[in-house]
Amino acid sequence: MSPPPRAALFDVDGTLVDTNYLHAVCWWEAFHQAGHRVAMTDIHHTVGMGSGRLLDRLLGEDRDRDDDEALGSAHKAIYATWFDRLPVLNGAPELLRALAGRGWRIVLATSAQGSELTALRRAIGADDVIHAATSADDVDSSKPAPDPVQQALEQAGADAGHALFVGDTVWDIKAARTAGVDCVALLSGGIARAELDAEGAVAVYRDPAELLERLDDSPFARLERER
Protein backbone atom coordinates (compact mmCIF):
# COMPACT_ATOMS: atom_id res chain seq x y z
CA MET A 1 0.00 0.00 0.00
CA SER A 2 1.22 3.51 -0.77
CA PRO A 3 1.73 5.82 2.23
CA PRO A 4 -1.04 8.33 2.95
CA PRO A 5 -0.51 11.76 1.39
CA ARG A 6 1.10 14.53 3.40
CA ALA A 7 -0.47 17.98 3.12
CA ALA A 8 1.30 21.32 3.47
CA LEU A 9 -1.50 23.85 3.94
CA PHE A 10 -0.68 27.54 3.52
CA ASP A 11 -2.33 30.77 4.38
CA VAL A 12 -1.48 33.38 1.72
CA ASP A 13 -1.71 36.99 2.94
CA GLY A 14 1.24 37.68 5.22
CA THR A 15 2.51 34.12 4.80
CA LEU A 16 3.45 33.89 1.12
CA VAL A 17 2.70 37.44 -0.04
CA ASP A 18 3.58 40.59 1.93
CA THR A 19 0.09 42.10 1.99
CA ASN A 20 -1.07 42.39 5.61
CA TYR A 21 -0.17 46.06 5.92
CA LEU A 22 -1.68 46.75 2.50
CA HIS A 23 -4.94 45.25 3.74
CA ALA A 24 -4.76 47.41 6.88
CA VAL A 25 -4.30 50.58 4.83
CA CYS A 26 -7.07 49.63 2.38
CA TRP A 27 -9.52 48.84 5.19
CA TRP A 28 -8.56 52.09 6.94
CA GLU A 29 -9.35 54.05 3.78
CA ALA A 30 -12.66 52.21 3.34
CA PHE A 31 -13.62 53.03 6.94
CA HIS A 32 -12.48 56.64 6.51
CA GLN A 33 -14.62 57.08 3.41
CA ALA A 34 -17.63 55.75 5.35
CA GLY A 35 -17.01 58.07 8.31
CA HIS A 36 -15.61 55.46 10.75
CA ARG A 37 -12.56 56.16 12.91
CA VAL A 38 -10.68 52.88 13.39
CA ALA A 39 -7.08 52.65 14.59
CA MET A 40 -4.66 51.12 12.11
CA THR A 41 -3.19 48.79 14.74
CA ASP A 42 -6.64 47.37 15.47
CA ILE A 43 -7.23 46.76 11.77
CA HIS A 44 -3.85 45.04 11.42
CA HIS A 45 -4.67 42.57 14.20
CA THR A 46 -7.88 41.51 12.44
CA VAL A 47 -6.24 40.79 9.06
CA GLY A 48 -6.64 37.10 8.31
CA MET A 49 -10.31 36.98 9.27
CA GLY A 50 -13.06 37.05 6.70
CA SER A 51 -14.60 40.48 6.16
CA GLY A 52 -17.72 39.73 8.21
CA ARG A 53 -15.73 38.69 11.27
CA LEU A 54 -13.35 41.61 10.75
CA LEU A 55 -16.24 44.09 10.76
CA ASP A 56 -17.78 42.44 13.83
CA ARG A 57 -14.53 42.88 15.71
CA LEU A 58 -13.80 46.45 14.60
CA LEU A 59 -17.29 47.99 14.43
CA GLY A 60 -19.18 45.77 16.87
CA GLU A 61 -21.78 43.09 16.31
CA ASP A 62 -24.59 45.55 17.11
CA ARG A 63 -23.66 47.89 14.22
CA ASP A 64 -25.92 48.82 11.32
CA ARG A 65 -25.05 46.04 8.91
CA ASP A 66 -26.59 47.81 5.92
CA ASP A 67 -23.19 49.38 5.25
CA ASP A 68 -21.22 46.11 5.32
CA GLU A 69 -21.45 45.40 1.61
CA ALA A 70 -20.34 48.92 0.71
CA LEU A 71 -17.40 48.74 3.14
CA GLY A 72 -16.30 45.39 1.74
CA SER A 73 -16.62 46.63 -1.83
CA ALA A 74 -14.61 49.76 -1.04
CA HIS A 75 -11.83 47.68 0.50
CA LYS A 76 -11.75 45.38 -2.52
CA ALA A 77 -11.66 48.27 -4.97
CA ILE A 78 -8.81 50.02 -3.15
CA TYR A 79 -6.86 46.79 -2.71
CA ALA A 80 -7.30 45.91 -6.39
CA THR A 81 -5.14 48.90 -7.33
CA TRP A 82 -2.19 46.87 -5.97
CA PHE A 83 -2.87 43.70 -7.97
CA ASP A 84 -0.07 44.26 -10.47
CA ARG A 85 2.58 44.81 -7.77
CA LEU A 86 1.79 42.47 -4.88
CA PRO A 87 5.13 41.66 -3.23
CA VAL A 88 5.85 37.97 -2.79
CA LEU A 89 7.75 37.20 0.41
CA ASN A 90 11.36 36.04 0.20
CA GLY A 91 11.60 32.32 -0.42
CA ALA A 92 7.85 31.72 -0.83
CA PRO A 93 7.80 30.02 -4.28
CA GLU A 94 11.02 28.18 -3.50
CA LEU A 95 9.53 26.85 -0.24
CA LEU A 96 6.44 25.53 -2.03
CA ARG A 97 8.56 23.83 -4.68
CA ALA A 98 10.91 22.33 -2.08
CA LEU A 99 8.00 20.82 -0.15
CA ALA A 100 6.33 19.54 -3.30
CA GLY A 101 9.65 17.94 -4.25
CA ARG A 102 9.63 16.13 -0.89
CA GLY A 103 6.20 14.68 -1.63
CA TRP A 104 3.93 17.21 0.14
CA ARG A 105 0.65 18.23 -1.47
CA ILE A 106 0.46 22.02 -1.43
CA VAL A 107 -2.96 23.55 -0.73
CA LEU A 108 -3.68 27.23 -0.17
CA ALA A 109 -6.27 28.15 2.47
CA THR A 110 -7.15 31.83 2.29
CA SER A 111 -9.90 34.35 2.89
CA ALA A 112 -9.14 35.83 -0.53
CA GLN A 113 -11.50 35.08 -3.39
CA GLY A 114 -12.07 35.70 -7.07
CA SER A 115 -9.74 38.15 -8.77
CA GLU A 116 -7.86 38.76 -5.50
CA LEU A 117 -6.88 35.10 -5.24
CA THR A 118 -5.90 35.10 -8.92
CA ALA A 119 -3.61 38.09 -8.32
CA LEU A 120 -2.04 36.45 -5.26
CA ARG A 121 -1.35 33.22 -7.13
CA ARG A 122 0.18 35.19 -9.98
CA ALA A 123 2.45 37.00 -7.50
CA ILE A 124 3.56 33.70 -5.93
CA GLY A 125 4.31 32.20 -9.32
CA ALA A 126 4.21 28.56 -8.23
CA ASP A 127 0.98 27.24 -9.70
CA ASP A 128 2.91 24.30 -11.11
CA VAL A 129 3.21 22.83 -7.60
CA ILE A 130 -0.03 24.05 -5.99
CA HIS A 131 -2.38 21.08 -5.72
CA ALA A 132 -5.49 23.12 -4.85
CA ALA A 133 -6.74 26.30 -3.20
CA THR A 134 -9.69 26.92 -0.91
CA SER A 135 -11.09 30.43 -0.65
CA ALA A 136 -13.85 32.31 1.16
CA ASP A 137 -16.20 31.12 -1.60
CA ASP A 138 -15.72 27.49 -0.56
CA VAL A 139 -16.57 27.58 3.17
CA ASP A 140 -19.40 28.67 5.44
CA SER A 141 -17.20 30.31 8.08
CA SER A 142 -13.83 32.05 7.83
CA LYS A 143 -10.86 31.82 10.19
CA PRO A 144 -10.62 31.48 13.15
CA ALA A 145 -13.29 28.86 12.41
CA PRO A 146 -11.67 25.60 11.25
CA ASP A 147 -13.66 25.42 8.00
CA PRO A 148 -10.88 26.64 5.65
CA VAL A 149 -8.37 24.18 7.12
CA GLN A 150 -10.83 21.28 7.00
CA GLN A 151 -11.70 22.11 3.38
CA ALA A 152 -8.00 22.26 2.50
CA LEU A 153 -7.46 18.84 4.08
CA GLU A 154 -10.28 17.43 1.97
CA GLN A 155 -8.78 18.95 -1.16
CA ALA A 156 -5.42 17.38 -0.31
CA GLY A 157 -7.00 14.01 0.44
CA ALA A 158 -5.08 13.95 3.73
CA ASP A 159 -5.96 13.58 7.38
CA ALA A 160 -5.00 16.03 10.11
CA GLY A 161 -2.23 13.80 11.44
CA HIS A 162 -0.42 13.95 8.09
CA ALA A 163 -0.68 17.71 7.64
CA LEU A 164 0.87 20.97 8.76
CA PHE A 165 -0.55 24.45 8.36
CA VAL A 166 1.66 27.50 7.79
CA GLY A 167 0.24 30.89 8.75
CA ASP A 168 1.13 34.24 10.23
CA THR A 169 -1.72 35.24 12.57
CA VAL A 170 -3.34 33.96 15.74
CA TRP A 171 -6.46 33.34 13.62
CA ASP A 172 -4.49 30.88 11.48
CA ILE A 173 -3.29 29.03 14.57
CA LYS A 174 -6.78 28.93 16.11
CA ALA A 175 -8.29 27.57 12.89
CA ALA A 176 -5.59 24.94 12.46
CA ARG A 177 -5.67 23.75 16.07
CA THR A 178 -9.46 23.43 16.04
CA ALA A 179 -9.11 21.30 12.91
CA GLY A 180 -6.51 19.14 14.68
CA VAL A 181 -3.59 20.37 12.56
CA ASP A 182 -0.31 21.71 13.97
CA CYS A 183 0.53 25.23 12.82
CA VAL A 184 3.95 26.57 11.87
CA ALA A 185 3.91 30.37 12.20
CA LEU A 186 5.80 33.10 10.38
CA LEU A 187 6.61 36.59 11.65
CA SER A 188 6.17 38.07 8.17
CA GLY A 189 2.59 39.15 8.90
CA GLY A 190 3.70 41.52 11.66
CA ILE A 191 2.37 39.58 14.66
CA ALA A 192 4.75 39.23 17.61
CA ARG A 193 6.45 35.91 18.30
CA ALA A 194 5.06 35.91 21.86
CA GLU A 195 1.47 36.06 20.57
CA LEU A 196 2.07 33.23 18.10
CA ASP A 197 3.81 31.09 20.72
CA ALA A 198 1.05 31.73 23.25
CA GLU A 199 -1.61 30.63 20.77
CA GLY A 200 0.18 27.30 20.23
CA ALA A 201 2.40 27.53 17.16
CA VAL A 202 4.67 24.47 17.03
CA ALA A 203 7.50 26.53 15.52
CA VAL A 204 8.02 30.16 14.51
CA TYR A 205 10.23 31.45 11.67
CA ARG A 206 10.94 34.92 10.37
CA ASP A 207 9.60 34.31 6.84
CA PRO A 208 9.33 31.62 4.15
CA ALA A 209 13.04 31.96 3.38
CA GLU A 210 14.06 31.06 6.93
CA LEU A 211 11.67 28.11 7.01
CA LEU A 212 13.14 26.91 3.71
CA GLU A 213 16.69 27.30 5.03
CA ARG A 214 15.83 25.30 8.14
CA LEU A 215 13.49 22.82 6.48
CA ASP A 216 15.57 19.76 7.41
CA ASP A 217 15.11 20.42 11.15
CA SER A 218 11.57 21.83 10.90
CA PRO A 219 8.24 20.23 11.87
CA PHE A 220 7.94 19.18 8.21
CA ALA A 221 11.08 17.04 8.43
CA ARG A 222 10.02 15.62 11.80
CA LEU A 223 6.65 14.59 10.39
CA GLU A 224 8.38 12.98 7.41
CA ARG A 225 10.49 10.88 9.78
CA GLU A 226 7.55 9.94 12.00
CA ARG A 227 5.29 8.87 9.17
Q: pLDDT tens digit string along 173-204?
A: 999 999 999 999 999 999 999 999 999 999 99
Output the pLDDT for position 139: 78
> Is pLDDT larger for residue 226 or for residue 15?
15
Output the pLDDT for position 1: 64
Cα distances from 26 to residues 14, 30, 108, 169, in angstroms, run 15, 6, 23, 18
Percent of the chain residues past pLDDT 90, beyond the cut: 85
pTM flag (> 0.85): yes
Q: What distance in Å separates the CA atoms of residue 124 and residue 209, rounded to the nearest whole number?
A: 13
Phi, psi of 196 (to 5 degrees): -70, -40
Q: What distance in Å separates the CA atoms of residue 169 and residue 20, rounded to the nearest whole number?
A: 10
Domains annotated on the chain, with CATH: 6-19+87-226 (3.40.50.1000), 20-81 (1.10.150)
Question: Is there a contact between 76 and 118 (Cβ–Cβ < 8 Å)?
Answer: no
Q: Is 193 left (phi over 0), alpha (psi -120 to 50) or beta?
A: alpha
CB neighbourhood size of 33 (10 A) = 13
Give tens-digit pLDDT for 143-164. Answer: 889 999 999 999 999 999 999 9
Q: Residue 51's closest CA among 9, 123, 110, 11?
A: 110
Output the pLDDT for position 226: 83
- The least confident of 4-8, 81-85, 101-105, 109-113 is 109-113
Q: What distance in Å separates the CA atoms of residue 160 and residue 215, rounded to the nearest whole number?
A: 20
Q: Taking CA 24 as the corner, what is the angle to CA 89 and CA 86, rounded to the nearest 5 degrees?
A: 35
